[in-house]
């Protein structure tokens, strides 16, 4: 019997737009396959022991919530989190949690807040918010049976820029992404996957959920191989309907601007 251990960091503080749904998706897609799941909440003042976990999840939060967790993240848990990242633990970080793993956040009034610096990227706060549904294409998810498209919802004023050795999670088809300028969304480093997508991200995108689970299982159980398939006909029908609607609407908006 296989078991996945999940760490949910700061669950009562970083849970914007129902990001806890990502934990639910990971749990249910394991249980449907007969894989045991244990989820442990780790918050302010708690010790973080990376060897005890297979997946670490950090949800989203606004500036206020980031300020609350920042010192605990940097000075209490920071070294262990960096070690876990370098040792190929699987991380999923959303929005504010994504930003906290970077080098710094520069506020709208020019104040620079030091963040964890586990990954080489940084974020600049802006007046205008980037809000709306988003579709992106992830090359690492493409296969003969899957188009690699991911759908979600973004709402952020921070513009994130990727540095050396950091790949984007995907290429934006509809929406803003990291900064509304370079056409990319999210960040990938080793087994760390960062994104601005709420909604929640994983329930809307079972292929990404299974990708993360498969990564974690192969890390823990050498030679685990490929995760078994589930009947995702309802999930995929909902996903495809949203993606087709958003892409069609985006094309119509572009045509209106031309004419």
Residue span of the structural domain in which 79 resides: 3-258
- Structural tokens at position 246: 């958003």
Of 80, 108, 116, residue with least CA distance to 194? 116
- The whole-number pLDDT of residue 255 equals 61
Q: Is 8 an active-site residue? A: no
- If one counts the domains in the chain, the total is 1
Contacts of 123-129 with C-beta under 8 Å, sequence gap 24+, read 123/99, 123/158, 123/159, 123/160, 123/161, 124/158, 124/159, 124/161, 125/63, 125/157, 125/158, 125/159, 126/157, 126/158, 126/159, 127/157, 128/157, 129/155, 129/156, 129/157
Beta bridge partners of 177: none
- Of these residues, 7, 30, 95, 194, which one is catalytic? 95
Question: 138 an active-site residue?
Answer: no
150 by DSSP, 3-state: which?
Answer: strand
pTM of the entire structure? 0.95
Instruction: Please answer whether residues 210 and 216 qualify as being in contact, where contact means their C-beta atoms are separated by less than 8 angstroms.
Output: no
- Say which DSSP state 183 is in: S
Phi, psi (5° rounding) for residue 251? -65, -40
Sequence-distant (6+) residues with CB within 8 A of 236 are 206
Catalytic residue among 7, 30, 156, 198: 198
Q: Fill in the DSSP letter of residue 36.
A: E
Q: What integer pLDDT is reported at residue 258 of this predicted model?
A: 67
Which residue is associated with the tokens 């993360």?
212
**How many other C-beta atoms can be found within 10 angstroms of the C-beta atom of residue 137?**
15
Which residues are registered as beta bridge partners of 160? 123
**CB-CB neighbours of 248 under 10 Å:** 11
Question: What's the maximum distance between 2 C-alpha atoms anywhere in the chain?
Answer: 61
Q: Encode the chain (259 residues) as per-residue pLDDT tens digits.
A: 899 999 999 999 999 888 999 999 999 999 999 999 999 999 999 999 999 999 999 999 888 899 899 999 999 999 999 999 999 999 999 999 999 999 999 988 888 999 999 999 999 999 999 999 999 999 999 999 999 999 999 999 999 999 999 999 999 999 999 999 999 999 999 999 999 999 899 999 999 999 999 999 999 999 899 999 999 999 999 999 999 999 998 877 776 666 5
CATH number, residue 96: 3.40.50.880
Query: 196 exposed, middle or buried (CB, 10 Å; 0-12, 13-18, 19+)?
Result: buried
Distance of CA 209 to the CA centre of its chain: 10
Q: Over 62-91, what HEC string results?
A: CHHHHHHHHHHHHHHHHHHHHHHHHCCCEE
């Amino acid at each position: 019997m296989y078991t996945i251990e999940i760490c949910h960091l700061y669950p009562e503080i970083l849970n914007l737009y129902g990001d806890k749904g990502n934990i639910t998706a990971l749990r249910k897609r394991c249980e449907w396959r007969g894989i045991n799941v244990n989820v442990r909440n780790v918050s302010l003042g708690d010790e973080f022991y990376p060897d005890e976990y297979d997946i670490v999840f950090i949800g989203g939060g606004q500036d206020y919530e980031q300020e609350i967790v920042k010192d605990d993240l940097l000075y209490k848990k920071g070294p262990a989190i960096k070690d876990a990242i370098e040792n190929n633990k699987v991380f999923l970080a959303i929005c504010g949690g994504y930003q906290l793993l970077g080098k710094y956040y520069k506020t709208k009034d020019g104040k620079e807040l030091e963040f964890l610096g586990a990954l080489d990227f940084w974020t600049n706060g802006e007046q205008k918010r980037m809000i709306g549904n988003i579709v992106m294409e992830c090359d690492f998810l493409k296969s003969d049976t899957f188009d690699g498209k991911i759908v979600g919802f973004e709402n952020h004023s921070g513009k994130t820029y990727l540095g050396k050795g950091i790949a984007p999670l995907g290429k934006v088809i509809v929406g803003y992404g990291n900064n509304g300028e370079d056409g990319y969304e999210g960040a990938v480093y080793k087994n760390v996957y960062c994104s601005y997508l709420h909604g929640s991200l994983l329930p809307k995108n079972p292929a990404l959920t299974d990708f993360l689970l498969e990564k974690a299982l192969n890390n823990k159980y050498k030679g685990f191989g490929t995760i078994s398939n589930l009947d995702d006909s309802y999930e995929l029908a909902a996903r495809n309907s949203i993606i087709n609607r958003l892409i069609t609407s985006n094309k119509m908006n572009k045509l209106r601007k031309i004419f």
